[in-house]
Amino acid sequence: MQNQIPDQLSSSEEIYNKMTRDTFGIPEIYKSQEEESFPGEGFSMQIGSDSDSKDNLLAQRIVNTLTAQLQAILPGTFRITPLPEQCLSYANLHSWSPGRSYFSLFEMQQSKSVWILHLSRSVGEGLASLSHSKNSRIYSNIYHDLREADSVIYLETAEMLRRLFGSLLELWPASDKLKIARCRHILQLSFLQEVAQDEEYVVLPFYLDNKVCTGDIHLIFPQRHLLNIVGA
């Protein structure tokens, strides 16, 4: 039996957006952002500031921080869209893991927790190419032909990722005492034995859309720290 497509869904993109909203229950604040056209040169989309949701407030702060950090790196217009979050135990993060890509693990000094900043291949390799080409007038994605994620990317992005994560960490109150003990850049998600395997972790996904750098960014951290920031 052939499905009948409503007249108002005039493109495959509109059909996909409608299916996504229906499946994940994305609120109106995200709908309006998806349906708006790209803004002018040098301006980045951010989620609306009129939402009373604490989750949306956190997403807004993170989007604002990512925007501030990436404006100096990305050429032209870009959009950062928050997506539905997940909550999983540390031991079950493997069910979320997108496979071989770019993971930065930040171990905290006092809280005995690990925080994860993840970039999809397209974002990690795009940022690395931009960093490599920053002194050239012509942009070239020199990592375009990589067959799989490669640690050579971190030669260009390691310091950038540390700065980016440091800026995100500043969103949390000083009372959380979040100081980085160690940072590791890896290509596949790994687990630390000293971290409580049953501790709940929040997976916050964001989608970056730019003409040379498009893909997923994830911030993963213990749920107990979520309560502190949304109450701040």
Question: So what's the pLDDT on residue 186?
Answer: 96
* Segment 73-89, tens digit of pLDDT: 999 999 999 999 999 99
Predicted confidence (pLDDT) per residue in 144-166, tens digit: 788 999 999 999 999 999 999 99
Token code pair at residue 87: 């909550």
Cβ partners under 8 Å of residue 187, min gap 6 = 100, 101, 102, 103, 149, 150, 151
Handedness of CA 96, 118, 231, 44 (dihedral sign): negative
More confident residue, 155 or 231: 155
pTM: 0.74
Strands 78-82 and 44-45: parallel
Task: Write down all domains in the chain, each with its CATH number in brackets.
Answer: 12-142+150-230 (3.40.1550.10)
